[in-house]
Structure 1
Amino acid sequence: MASFATFYTTWNDQLHHLLRQLCSAPKPPTTQDHLHHLSHLVDKVLSHYSEYYRVKAAVVERDVLEVFAAPWASSLEKSLHWIAGWRPTTVFHLVYTESSILFESHIVDILRGMRTGDLGDLSPSQFRRVSELQCETVKEENAITDELSEWQHSIGDLMGTFTEVDQMIGRLASVVQKADDLRLRTLKKVVNLLTPQQAVEFLIAAAELQFGIREWGMNQDGQRTF
């Protein structure tokens, strides 16, 4: 499992590098080349997240309990986890929050009929599709939560044989894999609903939130006395 901790550190460093590329990209894009560049950056970031879940899936199969323990994460990060990772519906809260902040900052221009093209300028069609996706995601999220709850209740029925324990651990690994699949699918679907400029802004906000929580959590862990 130490190898995954090493992978996570490297993966996190690479995400920092990608964040710098996202932040330095022209917004709004002024040429077709700039637009292609934004799309390419978005694809790179999504591929980076896909790689994380590909490696994590192998670890889940090998030792799902260690994934729940998440020794590579801060105490704060672990306190926010839903089934060994972030809650998929967090994506929608982030979209709405960023959209609201940018809308308020550009409200005068928007009222004058000027289009900013950023997350504060989501079209009615985009809002509708995001809302529909949110409802679908909530249903899937609740179903996975129920499956975990059933697993937790059934753990008391174990007779203590190795076969039964292995089966229970296998069921838990399946729950985590479903949760991770929903996390990645939700991220990709939301990005696909956005323009390249909006997708870049969303991915910047998501990465900054992730880094902010991690940094604050690590600082708190470092100050804690036992």
Structure 2
Amino acid sequence: MKKTPIEEKFSEFYEKWVSQLEEYLKFLVQDYTHQSDYENLIAKLTTHHKNYYRFKWAAAHEDVCAFFTPVWLTPLENAYLWVTGWKPSAVFRFVETSRRTGTMLADLTDDQVKKIEGLRLKIKNEEEKVEREMERQQVGIADRRMIELLEMTRSCGGGDAVAVKGLLSGLENVMKMGDCVRLKTLKGLLDLMNPKQQVELLAAQSMLHVQLRKWPG
């Protein structure tokens, strides 16, 4: 099936974005003497992530459906998809596993661990809100007439404009809800860590992202 203009545009952006992430990863896995080196890396990575969401939200405003069936992702990446992106709670499982095995984040203090657990519970509640809203939207999408209208609108701009606009607006809203939980998770964890730990977390997340992308499938 031929890609829509937004699918073409975002596919190209995403490929470049992941490629840049892989470049950053080479620096993230190094050891540094000065705290300022870690802080500079953190600033670059957080800006890189912000650019992703800025571009995503602008593109989704034109064609939000593309982000619920992303043609730019591999089958494995799609398998890990949660409301158009990575699932926030998965990061907490990774942090816990890394800490216990001593591979990364082994120097987290008891106070940090306690605060991270508190954040995890808050994020879990936020995830559940997003999932409830997604279920509510799916009820509308499940209506056969709405599906036909949606497909008609995407292909030639026709259909019942009011009904379709309401559905698309709802999908865009739930997508942004999910993205906000992702951003809140990342920021919340980074705020609880020192610069070296922050770099370790970002390195691990980036490595997983790149490995999923490159996995043969």
Indicate whether 1:16 and 2:22 are aligned: yes
Whole-Å separation in 2 of the counterparts to 1:154 and 1:17: 42
- 3-state secondary structure, aligned to 1:69: coil
Whole-Å separation in 2 of the counterparts to 1:10 and 1:212: 15
Residue type at the aligned position of 2:122? E
- 3-state secondary structure, aligned to 1:85: coil
How far does residue 24 in structure 1 lie from its aligned partner after superposition?
2.4
Residue type at the aligned position of 1:58? A
How far does residue 154 in structure 1 lie from its aligned partner after superposition?
3.0
Indicate whether 1:201 and 2:207 are aligned: no
Whole-Å separation in 1 of the counterparts to 2:21 and 2:48: 8
Residue-pair matches, total: 198
Contact 1:25–1:38 (Cα < 8 Å) also in 2 = no
5+ residue gaps, structure 1, are 106-117, 221-226
Matches within 5 A, 1:114-129: 119-129=105-115
How far does residue 139 in structure 1 lie from its aligned partner after superposition?
0.4
Matches within 5 A, 1:14-163: 14-26=20-32, 29=33, 34-102=34-102, 119-155=105-141, 156=143, 161-163=160-162
Task: Decide which structure has the larger Cα Rg and report it.
Answer: 1
5+ residue gaps, structure 2, are 1-5, 150-159
How far does residue 10 in structure 1 lie from its aligned partner after superposition?
1.1
Whole-Å separation in 2 of the counterparts to 1:141 and 1:133: 12
TM-score, with length taken from structure 1: 0.83
Residue type at the aligned position of 2:14? Y
How far does residue 162 in structure 1 lie from its aligned partner after superposition?
2.8
How far does residue 158 in structure 1 lie from its aligned partner after superposition?
5.9
**Cα offsets for 1:50-79 (capped at 9, x unmatched):** 110110011111111111111110011111
Contact 1:88–1:182 (Cα < 8 Å) also in 2 = yes
Report what 2:166 is aligned to.
Answer: 167
Whole-Å separation in 1 of the counterparts to 2:136 and 2:144: 11
Whole-Å separation in 1 of the counterparts to 2:118 and 2:139: 32
Whole-Å separation in 1 of the counterparts to 2:25 and 2:95: 17
Percent identity of the aligned residues? Answer: 31
- 3-state secondary structure, aligned to 2:84: coil
Residue type at the aligned position of 1:128? K
RMSD of aligned alpha carbons: 1.6
Whole-Å separation in 1 of the counterparts to 2:144 and 2:75: 31
Residue type at the aligned position of 1:171? G
Residue type at the aligned position of 1:211? V
Report what 1:211 is aligned to.
Answer: 210
Whole-Å separation in 1 of the counterparts to 2:18 and 2:72: 11
How far does residue 81 in structure 1 lie from its aligned partner after superposition?
0.4
Whole-Å separation in 2 of the counterparts to 1:215 and 1:100: 27
**Cα offsets for 1:5-32 (capped at 9, x unmatched):** 1111111111111111112242xx3xxx
Whole-Å separation in 1 of the counterparts to 2:187 and 2:145: 39
